[in-house]
Chains A and B, each alone.
Chain A
Amino acid sequence: MVIDYNTCIGCGACVAACSEENSLEMNATIPLGARTNIKNIEVGAFPSTRWIFVHNICRHCENAPCVSVCPTGASYKTREGVVLVDHSKCIGCKYCIVACPFNARYVNEELKGPDKCTLCYHRITQGLEPACVAACPTKSRIFGDLDDPNSEVAKLVASGAIPAGGEYGTKPKVFVIPPTRG
């Protein structure tokens, strides 16, 4: 996934769509902002001030620390690189929550365990975009196959989108187009 900070207006449609879609998918309440959320960071002194709407979401890291610390294999990675949680194997130790440098996991009381973004696995496996991507009025979240050099996301990465939180060395699969202006 690529998130374009140039066009995001911080409206929250992605956050709403995520909670709505996945609550239905899970037959449980996914609280607003639990799997993905937006923060408004103000930068620069007047009159050069700007807000950056910073998105948080699971990076589906290539070297996912949440998966490697999981003692039971409940946190796992699909063959395609999506990080998921198998609740039937989870013992609730919360190592994964602590291990994630991005705060992308939380405890869902109804599911009695850690919960996180699934990249709308139920949708992408049917050829649909994740709910947050489909809901964005400004098309600021773009989803696709990073391994396909012809995909929009791959082209965006090739043209300068940067890994979201790449400094932790986990090889995030969510990229950000930093805001440019002037």
Chain B
Amino acid sequence: MNLEHEDKWLQQLKARLDDHETPPDDQLWEALVARMAQPKPMPVKPRLRVYYILSGVAAAVIAFLFLLPIFNKGNRNEVKDNGNIVAISTEPLPKGKETMPCADEPIQANTTASSDVINVKSEDLKDYTPTGKRDNRSGARVHPKTTLEQSETRSSANRQHFDQSISKAETNIADKLTSTLTEGHEDEALIASAQTATPTVQEAQPAVDKRQETLTAAERWAMNTPQPSSRDTREVQKALAKQAGSFRERIDRWSMRTYAGNVAYASTALSPMSINDLFSISSSGKEEYLSWDKPVLMLRSSYDDNTIDLDDASFSHSSPFSVGATFVRNIGKGMFVGSGLFYSMHRSTFSTTHRGYDLTGKQLISFLGVPLQVGYNLYQNDRFRLYAFADGSLEIPLQRKVRINGNISDIRLTNSEIVRKEKLQFAIGAGAGAEVRINNFIGFYAEPELHYYINNNSGINTIYKQSPLNVNLNFGLRFVLD
């Protein structure tokens, strides 16, 4: 294109700058040689988008957590099958079979008229079974060959002591059976307390002498004890936990948390938000954006005539508002893991100049996030829980809307676009939470959390860019799923 006659000054400009040189950095040549020395990348299949991979990982984690109870259940069934007491007989054992059966081995059914079949796990009777030690390799219990004749020589004092031990052991068995029948979980505190109360081998040695009586007692208890109510179970467990001297681990394994949250204090300003700021997006702000005259996609070229560059605009960011749901699983030892989805909305205002006009506007960006959380219960009882956690999250930008208000009457500048190639946002965080349980199934919690948003070199100006370190406050409900 030939510059027009009246653009003579542009011709002069071209002449001045055509051969103008700007020396590059001294390190550029070395960097260039290093780049050239690298082998040329082989053409490879397009890699999966990072967020597909991470979403897959999150889905796999969730699936694993769901399947874990099934595997555990299978293991428990196996033990149960091996340890089920099919029947307990009140008949005297035949001569030569005086050795008390191992608690881990099924006692064969004796189908006499006096026998009653009960479905009691022998595992739960192991504390009751007073004899022997477990073989470390086989796991089978080894019993001393105590005979009836030997037992007859015991003194009456020993018998009295044994009776007390048996009574104590029965109480523990009853408690544990209650727990097992109602909850189906092994609780370390329960086991610890039950074992504390179990008579030692020496104390219980006369059990062989009294095996008929003890079996009868167990049978009598098993037949006469009614199925405990849930409330009874909780009370029993609470008592046992107190007896064990430690806080009982929460027995619900699966829960779902729904929450809403906001950044209560941004690290840059450290000033509290007003209620209006907190909820403006979900109320009037949303309606305002929906009422745009032409909320159409305008993915024009960046060199279009009416492009406004916000790169140098002055931004003021409000705290993001988010809602979400997370599935949490207790994995034992007071620890839990969780993952789910959340949706967050970011609102910003900005001011800039364009063609001599002072412009102000609003920017609204929405993200879909996938969190992954690991936590530990610091303290808990039936009604209250304190915990700490660390998490990481991936946020996928979904949409950005910009509304510009010019100081010119009757002019409304709008823009709305689906963010297609915007970069993902990663964050790491740590925090603590407190939960108050409303009833057996619902709890209310609040979680202050410190989040650090990793710079993704995005061109979009968000609070993550301006203030990577943020304090979040999430609050919500937790529903027990099992």
Report whether chain A binds chain B: no
User: Chain A residues in contact with chain B, CB under 8 A?
Assistant: none
Chain B residues at the A interface, C-beta cutoff of 8 Å: none
